[in-house]
Amino acid sequence: MKKALVVLVLLMMMSTLVFAAGSKETAAEPAASKKIVIWTNLTADAQAKVLRKQFTEVAAEMGVEVEMVTISFNDMYTKLATAVESGNVPDIMHTNFAGTAYLYSQDIILNMDDVIDKIGKDDFISSYLHVLNAEGKTWGIPDWALHTSVWYRKDLFQEKGIKIPTDWAEFKAAAQKLNIDEDGDGKIDVYGFPVPLNAVQVAPQTYYEFLYSAGVTTFDPKTGKYTFGSQKKKAVEVTDYLIDLYKTVSPPSSIEWSWNEYRNALVEGTVAMTLDMGAVIGLAQNNNPEMVEKLGCFDLPGQFGNKPASFGSGYAFVVSNSGSATEIETKKEFIHRLYTSERAAERALSRPMFAFPSLYSALEIYKQSPSVALFQDQIATISDAFENSNWYWYGMEHGLSQMSSQIEATTFFGEALQSVALGMQTSVKAVDFIDQQLQEQISIIE
């Protein structure tokens, strides 16, 4: 924990240096030939290929030069520090919502409301804009978003006579029925539902999906006041339920599982359900095509039926505040041109299922694509969740908050939950520890 805090403090110092360098650049009028440098945290070939294509097209339209650099999110802050030392701060960044929150907190990006208005604010799915809002302004332009759903084996549900669960009790009962001994040797061959608890990002993602479905938040969505500490009793209930699932319907090794492990388990048929943002479909198409038509999705139900919110995330374009007024307008115009309906849909479709574009007009194009033609029911389920229910990224219930990047940079959620799963401490003590660590992160931010 101490090491994680030290790293976080260093990252904050690095971003402060970035801001300082950006401020100095503003004072001097750069050469007109300066090219636009864009960093993206998307490193997958399919996604990078589409981004590079679109950036090249827009650069040609505007008569400017552009350079795209792919940088993994984990390396983003150290790369920024190096860029400051070399005097080459990126002009535009394509990063996730947590990255946007961190960059906003360090005062190195511009609010983008004028560009959003130029594109057409009414064309944006409103919940996408909400998550990027702070101080009544929008600090990035949402590109696409992801929604956490329960992906499940439709064939096994039918075989076992299981209906889609409507509350947590039904969900556990369904998972127990899906613990299957296929060869009669007394050992489970297919587990009902994995509880992945890898301490690096995966554990808090798993935990927050259940916290949100029970109404527990880090901050009050309306006031922004810290609320987790006053909801610890409910958080203990969530923890007890999650650990019970781990002990009864989840592979023991899932205590260390990350994204690849739980996705592969569903695709390979060793689990019957899993929480995911849709990448399991792309994985099945590549590794086990016969599984594709067997997979469906539904929203994790609320604890007692009513579900206050879900867990989700996405990507956005942000513009650095460095450079002259002319350069800033050029960067904003570059982003504006990226938001044709066709280009927005193409970017979303470049990600393995299911990244939903932020524009309604792009969503209509998205739905008509042959690559998602077989998944209209799933698209309808996820679309409804985006448009008609609440969804948050951890720590960003009230909009942009640096807490999200603090949570991503630390491992205390995973450490606490793993210790309960292993019988090393109680849920009460684990929740107390999480509350303490969250408050320490707030102190660091302040």
Residue 374: which pLDDT band, with cuts at 50, 70 and 90?
Answer: confident
- 195-199, 208-212, 308-312, 374-378: the lowest-pLDDT one: 374-378
Contact predicate 267/283, CB 8 Å: yes
Residue 84: which pLDDT band, with cuts at 50, 70 and 90?
Answer: low
Check whether 243 has a pLDDT greater than 70. Answer: yes
Measured CA to CA, the distance from residue 288 to residue 279 in angstroms comes to: 13
Contact predicate 36/65, CB 8 Å: yes
Residue 412: which pLDDT band, with cuts at 50, 70 and 90?
Answer: very high
| 20-25 average pLDDT score | 36
Check whether 31 has a pLDDT greater than 80. Answer: no
In 63-74, which positions are buried (b, 16+ CB within 10 angstroms) versus exposed (e)? ebebebebbebe
Q: Give the model's pLDDT for residue 265.
A: 98
- How high does pLDDT run on average in the chain? 89
| Alpha carbons within 13 A on the beta-carbon side of 119 | 30
Check whether 395 has a pLDDT greater than 80. Answer: yes
The residue with greater pLDDT, 127 or 118, is 118
Q: Give the model's pLDDT for residue 434.
A: 98
Q: Give the model's pLDDT for residue 127.
A: 86
Q: Give the model's pLDDT for residue 354.
A: 83
Structural domains present in the chain: 2-147+312-377 (3.40.190.10), 149-311+395-445 (3.40.190.10)
- 239-243, 279-283, 352-356, 368-372: the lowest-pLDDT one: 352-356
Q: Give the model's pLDDT for residue 341.
A: 97
* The 3-state secondary structure of the chain, one letter per residue: CHHHHHHHHHHHHHHHHHHHHHHHHHHCCCCCCCCEEEEECCCCHHHHHHHHHHHHHHHHHHCCCEEEEECCHHHHHHHHHHHHHHCCCCCEEEEEHHHHHHHHHCCCECCCHHHHHHHCHHHECHHHHHHCEECCEECCEEEEEEECEEEEEHHHHHHHCCCCCCCHHHHHHHHHHCCECCCCCCCCCEECCCCCCCCCCHHHHHHHHHHHHCCCCCECCCCCCECHHHHHHHHHHHHHHHHHHHHHHCCHHHHHCCHHHHHHHHHHCCECEEEECCHHHHHHHHHCHHHHCCEEEECCCECCECCCEEEEEEEEEEEECCCCHHHHHHHHHHHHHHCCHHHHHHHHHCCCCCCEECEHHHHHHHHCCHHHHHHHHHHHHHHHHHHHCEEECCCCCCCCCCHHHHHHHCCHHHHHHHHHHCCCCCHHHHHHHHHHHHHHHHHHHC
- pLDDT per position as a tens digit, 329-346: 999 999 999 999 999 999
Check whether 207 has a pLDDT greater than 80. Answer: yes
Check whether 362 has a pLDDT greater than 60. Answer: yes
Q: Which of 132, 125, 47, 127 minimizes the C-alpha distance to 364?
A: 125
Q: Give the model's pLDDT for residue 15.
A: 39
| 147-155 average pLDDT score | 95
Check whether 283 has a pLDDT greater than 50. Answer: yes
Contact predicate 15/108, CB 8 Å: yes
Measured CA to CA, the distance from residue 117 to residue 329 in angstroms comes to: 15
Check whether 88 has a pLDDT greater than 80. Answer: no
Cis omega (within 30 of 0) for bond into 97? no
- What are the tokens at 35? 């090219």
Q: Give the model's pLDDT for residue 81.
A: 65
